[in-house]
Amino acid sequence: MKRLFSIFLIISVILIAFTECRKSPYYRALIVTGQNSTDWAASTPILKQILEQTGIFECSIIVSPAPGEDMGKFRPAFDRYDLIVLNYYGAAWPEEVKSSFVNYVNNGGGVLVYHSASRAFPDWKEYNEICGISGWENRSEKDGPYVYFRNNRMVLDSSAGPAGWHGEPREFEVRIRNSEHPVTKGLPVRWMHAKDLLYARLRGPARNMEILATAHCDTTGGGSGRDEPVIFTVTYGKGRVFHTPLGFPGEGDSPALQCAGFITTLQRGAEWAASGRVTQPVPRDFPTISGVVIRTEMKPLTLKAEIENLAKYEIGMSTRYYTGLQDRIRKAAGNPEKLLEIEKMMVKLLENEQATTESKKLVLRELSWMGTDYCIPAIKKLQENTELKEEVEFALERLGAK
Amino acid sequence: MKMIILESKKQNQMSQKTSRRKFLKKSVSAVTGVVMLPYIVPSSSLGLGEKIPPSERIAMGVIGTGSQGMSNMRSFLRLRDQVRFIALCDVDAKRLAAAKAVVDKANNSTDCRIYSDFREFMEKETLDAVLIAIPDHWHGIIYTAAANKKWDIYGEKPICRTINDGKVIVQAVKKNGIIWQTGSWQRSQENFHRGAELVINGRIGKVKYIEVGLPDGVRGIGTPPVQEVPEGLDWDMWLGPALKVPYRGVCHWNWRWILDYSGGQLTDWAGHHVDIANWGTGLEYTGPVEIEGTGFYPYDGIYDVPVEYDITCKFANGIIMRIANASRLPKGMGTAWYGDLGWIHVDRGNKISASDPKILEETIGENEIHLYKSNDHFQNFIDCIRSRKEAVAPIEPAYRAISTALLGEIAMTTGQKIYWDPEKEEIIGNPVASRLLGRPYRKPWKLPEV
């Protein structure tokens, strides 16, 4: 009995150790690139950064031979990875590579089809099935129906016509069509996407395809006037495919790739494709319809940096550091130590002579309901400040400290 | 059961009124030839089809002549053989002038008086009833003051910006024995009445779950700079009890996207679909006991109300109510009751549907519950002013509907689950969240004594 217990203990320790060492980085991803109609050299490092920022992906890159060069020695080892990210649109792969890719997906491998990658290989049947839908390269009704959303339903439209169209890059609203899927669960249903190309009139086999989000393509310049799929999944064999035609690299700093909505859905889609689940929380800066959210630097702000930025607030400036602070407070609910840490930083702002009056007004509004006894002396010290008189009274009255 | 509650409430509402009011009451009785009016008061039985001499028409005033105020006023002008507008009040001179032009035309006279300060309006005017359509942050003061004047009130939803304001308003309306009609006009629409009546009579079995879909949030406008106050607008008076802020171009209509004045679509619409949800389940005189919620707040900009919201409440009888922006719900906008035998969904545009269409053909028996029937929200108010009976959308259900949404707002703001005592009307065991039950008023403003 004792011995049995020892064995159990050893197994447990091994299991725990195994789980621990698998934790970070947990999944291995491979970005396949090297030829594309878009600037693959610009987009690939950003995709890598987006994936690695999750803390659950270790990301490698394989660059194919340049266009016109011999593809004979191009041999990505798909089977070593949990996720293949396709950022490739160019010369045909060797047959061996093609079949190993199909086997990889069939056996349960994860695939992320990014932006223009679906355009590749119009004659490769399995590839088109894996992508679900695509465009250009003389694709037409022979390749499958148009797929779009109408009256809250996915429509498979077999009418004749060419596949693939896009207008000028612009900002547009993305609409989540399935909030129950792990990728989209908990995301705002409507949000603004940064300047991007919206692919329209995509068509293809569309088998086992599920649309998660659409964007409306207006009829300007010959647009489809339809709600076009912009985030969708395909299941192929045992494999999971996450496909987004979004993310055009270009337009200066590639705003589409800096959009917090694009980044988040890509990160979540990658995890889902690799594992079938999503463990990442929805970030606080996820856009809503109130406007596009650009992550110029992708690291989340520290509390200190947020307060320092808030201290410069004047009317007419961005309120993002204020809304960030509010969000921090909400997230710290039920954690008195964390809340006190935030409160102390807020009090520092009140005591900071360099901080603007407008920033102090905002901080006083928040303290009015979430403050503890800690903040009261600092607020009372501001009673002499005529510019803050009303906000100070407001806060003290609500805190019951008049 | 329902009827009994209403009957006893009605009696509470009977009370002393101005001499003019008594005169009106007498004249109606004289026309109809009965002293006790039936519970449901169709206008025809009041003899209102006949011409009422101008001197006996209900003397009405308006506070707030903006889009909603004008819309309500026009609805009453349809009934101008029964009412006469004699005084108007607004903090925006342009809107006031526009409203006066409409009234003058209807009255065929220019004697309608105008005011920019409601205090002067209340001091000088003698009215039977007043229409009030002003931003939510002003409701506490002005509804209470008007009730203290013993004027009957047609008041816009949501009836309060905070629960503490709401409690005082309810008390003021009850204590002064006035007739109150909330602008929750869906109660006077056939489909909402029918849906609620089928549900309350058990046609979908025991209700377990209710889904209430309200509009999605609006797109932001960024961070506008400080601007010159438009000519004719008394900005300081418009702000009133709210914290003083410089004018930045957001005022009429769009105030509802700023938390100082409103809770956004959630609080704007709770007075409609949450009210209907409560009506059909007998929850209109109580509130939830547990409230949880998540909001998506704009990342940036002057608009700070949640653009998406998803609130789940539990009532003492076990019913779960989910209130969310329409995009998050399978049936979208409207009220959907789910019982153990099926569901019924109602929405604007005279929409009513059920899990089985046969449910909608059911008749309600004589001995079953008959919900208050009104087919004209404005006429109902006038009828009740004359009859002194309770109107179809009385004050407390309005307060209960909005307080549910406001508790949801508190849950979203604090990120916490809120426990509420609907009898004592207190948050249980959470002094921090309890601070959000009210908002301190900017000096010199304070709620009038009831």
Kindly state whether residue B16 falls inside one of the protein's structural domains: yes
pLDDT category of residue B43 using cuts at 50, 70 and 90: very low
Examine the domain organization and report whether B208 and B171 are in the same domain.
no
Name the phi and psi angles at B210, rounded to 5: -130, 135
Q: Indicate the pTM of the whole model.
A: 0.79
Ranking A375-379, B5-9, B263-267, B356-360 by mean pLDDT, the lowest is B5-9
What is the model's pLDDT at position A16? 52
Can you tell me the mean pLDDT for B235-247?
Answer: 98
Kindly state whether residue B444 falls inside one of the protein's structural domains: no
What is the model's pLDDT at position B7? 37
Examine the domain organization and report whether B144 and B226 are in the same domain.
no
What is the model's pLDDT at position A1? 57
Last residue of a domain, one of B187, B203, B232: B187
- Between A42 and A133, name the one with better pLDDT: A133
Q: Is A336 on the interface with B (CB under 8 A)?
A: no
Task: Kindly determine whether residue A291 and residue B432, on different chains, have CB atoms separated by under 8 Å.
Answer: no
Q: What is the DSSP string of B91-128?
A: SBHHHHHHHHHHHHHHHTSS--EEES-HHHHHHH---S
A390 contacts in chain B (CB < 8 Å): 243-244, 442-443
Last residue of a domain, one of B144, B159, B187: B187
Examine the domain organization and report whether B120 and B218 are in the same domain.
no
Q: Please state, in angstroms and as integers, the Cα–Cα distance from residue A297 to each residue in A194, A254, A300, B153, following that order.
A: 15, 13, 8, 55
pLDDT, tens only, A341-371: 999 999 999 999 999 999 999 999 999 999 9
pLDDT at B41 over 50: no
Examine the domain organization and report whether B296 and B402 are in the same domain.
yes
Can you tell me the mean pLDDT for A164-184?
Answer: 95
Examine the domain organization and report whether B276 and B351 are in the same domain.
yes
DSSP assigned state of A276:
S
Task: Kindly determine whether residue B217 and residue A330, on different chains, have CB atoms separated by under 8 Å.
Answer: no
pLDDT at A21 over 50: no
Q: How far apart are CA B229 and CA B246, in angstroms?
A: 9
Examine the domain organization and report whether B332 and B405 are in the same domain.
yes
Q: Extract long-range pairs of B251-254: CB within 8 Å, 24+ residues apart.
A: B252/B66, B252/B67, B252/B92, B252/B95, B253/B66, B253/B67, B254/B221, B254/B303
Q: Is B413 on the interface with A (CB under 8 A)?
A: yes
pLDDT at A161 over 60: yes
pLDDT, tens only, A223-247: 999 999 999 999 999 999 999 999 9
Q: How far apart are CA B275 and CA B404, in angstroms?
A: 10
Task: Kindly determine whether residue A398 and residue B416, on different chains, have CB atoms separated by under 8 Å.
Answer: no
pLDDT category of residue A6 using cuts at 50, 70 and 90: low
A186 contacts in chain B (CB < 8 Å): 294
pLDDT category of residue B395 using cuts at 50, 70 and 90: very high
What is the model's pLDDT at position B8? 38
Q: Give the gap in angstroms from C-alpha A396 to the nearest C-alpha of chain B.
A: 9
Domain count for chain B, please give it: 2
Q: Is B429 on the interface with A (CB under 8 A)?
A: no
Q: Is A323 on the interface with B (CB under 8 A)?
A: yes
pLDDT at B11 over 60: no
Peptide linkage before A281 cis (omega within 30 of 0):
no
Last residue of a domain, one of B187, B215, B237: B187
Q: Is B330 on the interface with A (CB under 8 A)?
A: no
What is the model's pLDDT at position A10? 62
What is the model's pLDDT at position B298? 85
Examine the domain organization and report whether B133 and B40 are in the same domain.
yes
Examine the domain organization and report whether B173 and B261 are in the same domain.
no
pLDDT category of residue A300 using cuts at 50, 70 and 90: low
pLDDT category of residue A12 using cuts at 50, 70 and 90: low
pLDDT category of residue A2 using cuts at 50, 70 and 90: low
B328 contacts in chain A (CB < 8 Å): 179, 189
Kindly state whether residue B391 falls inside one of the protein's structural domains: no
Kindly state whether residue B287 falls inside one of the protein's structural domains: yes
Task: Kindly determine whether residue B226 and residue A315, on different chains, have CB atoms separated by under 8 Å.
Answer: yes
CA angle, corner B236, sides to B232 and B240, nearest 5?
125
Q: Containing domain of residue B73, as a range?
A: 2-187
pLDDT category of residue A26 using cuts at 50, 70 and 90: confident
Can you tell me the mean pLDDT for A17-26?
Answer: 47
pLDDT over 70, % of chain B: 88
Half-sphere exposure of B361 (CA within 13 A, CB side): 3
Examine the domain organization and report whether B13 and B126 are in the same domain.
yes
Q: Please state, in angstroms and as integers, the Cα–Cα distance from residue A360 to each residue in A114, A146, A348, following that order.
A: 45, 55, 10
B248 contacts in chain A (CB < 8 Å): 315-316
pLDDT at A277 over 50: yes
Q: Which of A288, A335, A340, A393 to mutate to test the interface with B (most CBs of B within 10 A)?
A: A288
Can you tell me the mean pLDDT for B288-294?
Answer: 96
pLDDT category of residue B312 using cuts at 50, 70 and 90: very high
What is the chain B residue with the closest CA to A333? B415
Examine the domain organization and report whether B251 and B264 are in the same domain.
yes
Helix (H, G, I), strand (E, B), or coil: what is residue A361? helix
Task: Kindly determine whether residue B328 and residue A179, on different chains, have CB atoms separated by under 8 Å.
Answer: yes
Kindly state whether residue B381 falls inside one of the protein's structural domains: no
Kindly state whether residue B332 falls inside one of the protein's structural domains: yes
Kindly state whether residue B390 falls inside one of the protein's structural domains: no
CATH of the domain at B96: 3.40.50.720
Angle at which helices A357-370 and A303-310 cross, to 10°: 130
Q: Give the gap in angstroms from C-alpha A362 to the nearest C-alpha of chain B.
A: 11
pLDDT category of residue B16 using cuts at 50, 70 and 90: very low
Kindly state whether residue B27 falls inside one of the protein's structural domains: yes
What is the model's pLDDT at position A7? 65
Q: Extract long-range pairs of B2-5: CB within 8 Å, 24+ residues apart.
A: B2/B200, B2/B282, B2/B369, B2/B371, B3/B39, B3/B369, B3/B370, B5/B285
pLDDT category of residue A9 using cuts at 50, 70 and 90: low
CATH of the domain at B275: 3.30.360.10
ipTM value, please give it.
Answer: 0.87
Can you tell me the mean pLDDT for B286-303?
Answer: 92
pLDDT, tens only, B315-344: 999 999 999 999 888 899 999 999 999 999
Examine the domain organization and report whether B183 and B227 are in the same domain.
no
Examine the domain organization and report whether B76 and B47 are in the same domain.
yes
pLDDT, tens only, B137-195: 999 999 999 999 999 999 999 999 999 999 999 999 999 999 999 999 999 999 999 99
